Structure 1
Amino acid sequence: MGRPGSPPQAETRCPLWALPEELLLLICSYLDARALGRLGQTCRRLYRFTSRDVLWRRLARSCLNAGFSALGADLVAGVPVKERVKVSQNWRKGRCRRILLLRWKCNLMPWIQLDDDYLYLSQAEDIQVYWLHPNGTSVQRCPQAVFSGHQEDVCRFVLANGHIVSGGGDGNIVLHKLNGSFSFKFLGHEQEVNCVDCHGGIIVSGSRDRTAKVWSLSSGRVGQCLHTIQTEDRVWSIAISPLSSSFVTGTACCGHTSPLRIWDLGSGQMITSLGTDFHRGAGVLDVFYETPSTLLSCGYDTYIRYWDLRTSTRDCVMKWEEPHDSALYCLRSNGNHMIASGSSYYGVVRLWDKRQTRCLQSFSLSSPISSPVYCLRFSTTHLYATLASSLYVLDFTVS
């Protein structure tokens, strides 16, 4: 028997502790997640040792949604990497709880954004702000704040530079300061503003009136139109490059050979168009930049396309087809291996692994009543999706 408070003999006699720490780290680097977890169950010292982030970081980079970029940057520092690797297995295997967060009476086309502990949700003419419970699966009954300003429904909005920038069916663009009473509204387009984005003091907007516009957000010039671009087609989606040098428009594909075109922010001139195999009516409903040279698109032609501007603008480098031949209303990427998409029927959310050609997991959120998934956002633990009359969360932290 050892003295009270002394470590168990199994720990003191463990031959692994006779090795230098650098050699022990090297040995552990050859273990997969299951073996590393089992090693940590042998004694308390090895449990503490095998819980180090440095040992799990290598595994996390290859996991589906563990909070690491393609270049290895930690996007959610402060959360133990070991826990993220465990949750990532639930994403891959589709293990989650489906929870109805909010429901409303009339059918809408809601848009959402996540910002730390807050969820922003468009409801008709307003944008409501809800505090998310730390478990991520419940919200306050009443919104903490409501931002108004449109006479018709909010089509889309973004959070940028401490502001909410929204475009509405009334043709107006509205700016609200998140932590203040400042708001500013101006007429942006002759018809509804279908999409907006904001980055680096610049707002871009796209409209049903077949134009895209570039606006200033700088002090003293807020709302000044810098460029008006005749797209010759209805603009459904828009996104600014992370370098703030260009932006991409996704149009209805009714009046141009390609619905995807990239424009120079400084001059308003077209830089290039993407793709050559789009059919008429294959409009692009959502676009998402991963890096300055890579972006994703989806829309009516049922494909997710992955573009790399460093290789070719004529053909996408990868594409994934929606299995049920449904239009894809929205998509999001974690910047590494995972893509999530929302379909036009029965609230189907799909998870994709870029390293595979087929859909990884799917979840139907509105069966038997059909509704599109209008918008989705996710973290390393939860996915939020808006339907015509409800907001759902998929909780992947289940044991």
Structure 2
Amino acid sequence: MLLSQLPEDLLYYILSYLDYRSLSRLSQVCRSFYRFVNRDAVWKKIAKALLNTGITREGKDIYPLIRLKDRVKIAQNWYSGICRRRIPLRWKTKLLPWLQLDGDTLFLSQAADIKVYHIHKDSGRLQRSPFEVYSGHKGDVCRFVLTDSLLISGGSDGKIVVHSRRSDVPVEFSGHNQEVNCVDAKDGLIISGSRDRTARIWSLTSTAPRDTIPMCDRVWSVAINPTLSSFVTGTACCENFSPLCIWDVERSISLGTLGSDFRRGAGVLDIRFESPFQLFTCGYDTFIRLWDLRLCPRKCAMEWEEPHDSALYCIQTDGNHMIASGSSYYGVVRLWDKRQTECLQFFQLSSDPVSSPVYCLRFNSSHLYAALATAVHSLDFRQNGTQIR
């Protein structure tokens, strides 16, 4: 790191001791300097300008238990694409898996079950066998979401199953007439979307839906605004002129649509709120889009195009500068810097003759996990190895 990149107060601290000649004094200064440079406050300004350090745009620290100095070092590897690739889990039957990360625990849907694996702290590898399995669906799990105390899943059987993460008794909701393609939950509010062309609003106090909203298309994705006042649905865009619609939670009425001039079939497969006013979307039309609800709803604030014309199945952001996306062909994961229009790094995870989409990906400060049709892949960015493509 160049001296010009150091914070001003750190430079001043260094320069103030340049004239000391006493070895004993110098030793004391070095010890003091070492303690100083390991303080998170010294690195926070630097960390905010880098990728995936855990410092959000608002200054919140997502990983307060990990030294910021260490995260800054790992951030260089995220930017340069330096990592070690592993396949911690494989299976024979082709599936449409979904992932969630919760600290040192990975949740993975496989057919009708959701399996829970410990992540080894030092290696980042998964335990061979799950330490817990959530069941309850008669068909495959399509999507699931975690809250602090609940695991809520939607399945191809049309059911929504609510599991308590502290007990063994699941609650089954009436669900939909066809498979539940998407579900989101926050603070007792649950939104689901289905192939039956409806979105439904649920509360934990009843197993029947509070409201059912008719749609003209299959609902591929939903996301609840952090304020809990509204939610966004992403549809297949076969009948509607726009696949993105904002809905009022209390009144179940449309508050408007996002975008215009979508091609037929430009369905939205994933939606992520980054703040109450900003959300990211991706889907079949190969674009990642950032929408700012404070601006004109007809035009997105920014967009990034998948360079190989592949549909984008999933996205995740670090709350600051980085986006990770999963493509529909050959298990391609891309890293994007929001300050640039071109893709920053890409990793082709699938080497099989038959291509597989990245159905879901999740990352923490040091690892990225991606679920393909027959395996979970991991990228460990703590390494000093060679760049992987």
TM-score (ref. length: structure 2):
0.91
Match of 2:287 among 299, 303, 309: 303
Shift of 1:135: 2.5
Separation in structure 1 between the aligned mates of residue 8 and residue 50 of structure 2, nearest angstrom:
25
The question of 1:323 aligning with 2:307 is answered yes
Shift of 1:140: 1.4
Deviation, 1:272, is: 1.1
1:225 partner SS: coil
SS for the counterpart of 2:274 is strand
C-alpha RMSD of the superposition: 1.8
Amino acid at match of 1:271: L
Write the deviation string for residues 106-145 of structure 1: whole angstroms up to 9, x where unpaired. 0000001011111100010000011111135311111101
Cα deviation, residue 164, structure 1: 0.7
1:374 aligns with 2:359: yes
2:235 is aligned with what amino acid? T
Q: What is the match of residue 255 of structure 2?
A: 271
Structure 1's 175 and 89: CA in aligned 2 closer, same or farther, altered over 3 A? same
What letter is aligned with 1:375?
Answer: C
Q: Give CA-to-partner distance per residue, 1:294-331, whole Å, 9 cap, x none.
A: 00000000000000001121100100000100000000
CA contact (8 A) 1:249 1:261 kept: yes
**2:116 counterpart residue number:** 129
- Range 321-330 or range 132-141, more displaced: 132-141
SS of equivalent to 2:145: strand
- 2:152 corresponding residue in structure 1: 165
Number of equivalent positions: 365
CA contact (8 A) 1:287 1:298 kept: yes
Map 1:199-214; keep pairs closer than 5 Å.
199-214=186-201
Deviation at 1:368, TM superposition (A): 3.9
**Alpha-carbon shift at residue 26 of structure 1 (Å):** 6.2
1:256 aligns with 2:256: no
Matched, 1:73 2:60: yes
Bigger Cα displacement from structure 2, 64-73 vs 129-138: 129-138
Q: How does 1:207-356 map to 2 (within 5 A)?
A: 207-217=194-204, 221-356=205-340
Paired position in structure 2 for 1:390: 375
- For structure 1, the residue ranges without an aligned partner over 5 or more in a row are 1-21, 31-39
The code of the aligned residue for 1:212 comes to: A
Aligned-partner Cα distance in 1 for 2:312–2:10:
45
- Name 2:104's counterpart in structure 1: 117
Report SS of the residue matched to 1:236: strand
The change in CA–CA distance for 1:102 and 1:302 in structure 2 (over 3 A counts) is: same
Task: Give the Å deviation of 1:79.
Answer: 1.2
| Contact 1:253 1:282 (C-alpha < 8 Å) held by counterparts | yes
2:41 corresponds to: 54
Matches of 1:315 and 1:330, distance apart in 2: 21
C-alpha distance in 2 between matches for 1:224 and 1:161: 23
1 CA distance for matches of 2:8 and 2:135?
Answer: 61
Q: Contact 2:288/2:304 (CA < 8 Å) preserved in 1?
A: yes
**Residue 174 of structure 2 contacts residue 208 of structure 2 at CA under 8 Å; is this kept in 1?**
no
Give the partner amino acid of 1:309: L
- Is 1:142 the counterpart of 2:129? The answer is yes
Alpha-carbon distance between aligned partners in 2 of 1:227 and 1:119, rounded to the nearest angstrom: 32
- Quote the Cα distance in structure 2 between the aligned partners of 1:386 and 1:253: 26
The code of the aligned residue for 1:234 comes to: R
SS at match of 1:79: coil
Q: For the Cα contact (< 8 Å) 1:227–1:267, is it kept in 2?
A: no
**Structure 2 vs 1, CA of residues 251 and 24 (structure 1 numbering), >3 Å: closer, same or farther?**
closer
The answer (yes or no) to whether the contact 1:129–1:144 under 8 Å persists in 2 is: yes
Query: Per the alignment, in what secondary structure is the counterpart of residue 68 of structure 1?
Result: coil
Alpha-carbon separation, structure 2, partners of 1:89 and 1:222: 48
Indicate if the aligned counterparts of 2:315 and 2:323 stay in contact, CA closer than 8 A: yes
CA distance in 2, matches of 1:23, 1:386: 43
2:261 and 2:81 mapped to 1: Cα distance? Answer: 33
Partner of 1:197: 184
User: In 2 relative to 1, CA 23–391 (structure 1 residues): closer, same or farther, beyond 3 Å?
Assistant: closer
Listed as ranges, the matches of 1:349-364 within 5 Å are: 349-364=333-348
Larger RCO (CA within 8 A; separation ≥ 6): 2
User: Residues 336 and 23 from structure 1, CA distance in 2 versus in 1: closer, same or farther, beyond 3 angstroms?
Assistant: closer
1:28 is displaced (CA, Å) by 6.2
CA displacement 1:81-120 (0-9 Å, x = unmatched): 1111000000000000001010001000000101111110
1:200 Cα deviation after fit: 1.5
The AA in structure 2 aligned to 1:122 is S
Compared CA separation, residues 130 and 315, structure 1 to 2 (3 A)? same
Amino acid at match of 2:143: R
Give how far 1:335 is off: 1.0
Aligned residues of 1:136 and 1:382 also touching (Cα < 8 A): no
Q: Distance in 1 between matches of 2:167 and 2:40?
A: 39
Shift of 1:55: 1.2
Amino acid at match of 1:396: F
Quick one: structure 1 residues 368 and 183, their matched pair in 2 at CA, closer, same or farther if it must change by over 3 Å?
Answer: closer
